[in-house]
Amino acid sequence: MLPVRRIAAVTAGLIGAGAVFGALAGGLSLAFCMVITETFTLGSVVGGFVFGSVLGFLLGAITAPVLAWLLLRRVALGRMFVGCALGTTIGAVVGWITATSGVGPYNPLLSAFIGCVVAAIILRHRARRLEA
């Protein structure tokens, strides 16, 4: 059994790394969505990057330790963070493109979360296949 301090340290590291990767994924995906779907200015894209980074920071800080401890214990950390960040980005872009008017940021945010979870499930399945 791992000591409580080690578990707390690993969880804190997962929160920090999840926040960083979530901020990058959220900022890049929202800026990319603004570029491909609207007329934009540099200021609006930078504002979109900052807003997406804040939402991604929060989403990544919460989901990274939960997914790491529950689903991805056998997956390498680098693969986990890159895979989940890619899933988040793809999910956010799909949610942005398929959003209807009046939904606000909820459809892309929910789609980003779903993309992250789907990427985690795929990573778990691949890690299980490699062990067998």
Backbone angles phi, psi at 50, to 5 degrees: -65, -45
Q: Is the pLDDT of residue 14 over 60?
A: yes
Domain count, the chain: 1
What's the pLDDT tens digit per position in 16-68? 999 999 999 999 998 888 888 776 777 778 888 898 899 999 999 999 999 99
pLDDT score, position 132? 58
List the domain range (segments joined by +) for residue 22.
4-131
Given a contact cutoff of 8 angstroms between Cβ atoms, the answer to whether 68 and 117 are in contact is no
The H or E element spanning position 33 is: helix 4-37
The dihedral built from the CA positions of residue 15, 16, 17 and 19, taken in this order, carries a sign that is positive
pLDDT score, position 53? 93
Which of the two residues, 124 and 100, has the higher pLDDT score? 124
pLDDT score, position 39? 60
Q: What is the mean pLDDT of the chain?
A: 87
Spatial separation of the C-alpha atoms in residues 90 and 106, rounded to whole Å:
15
pLDDT score, position 79? 93
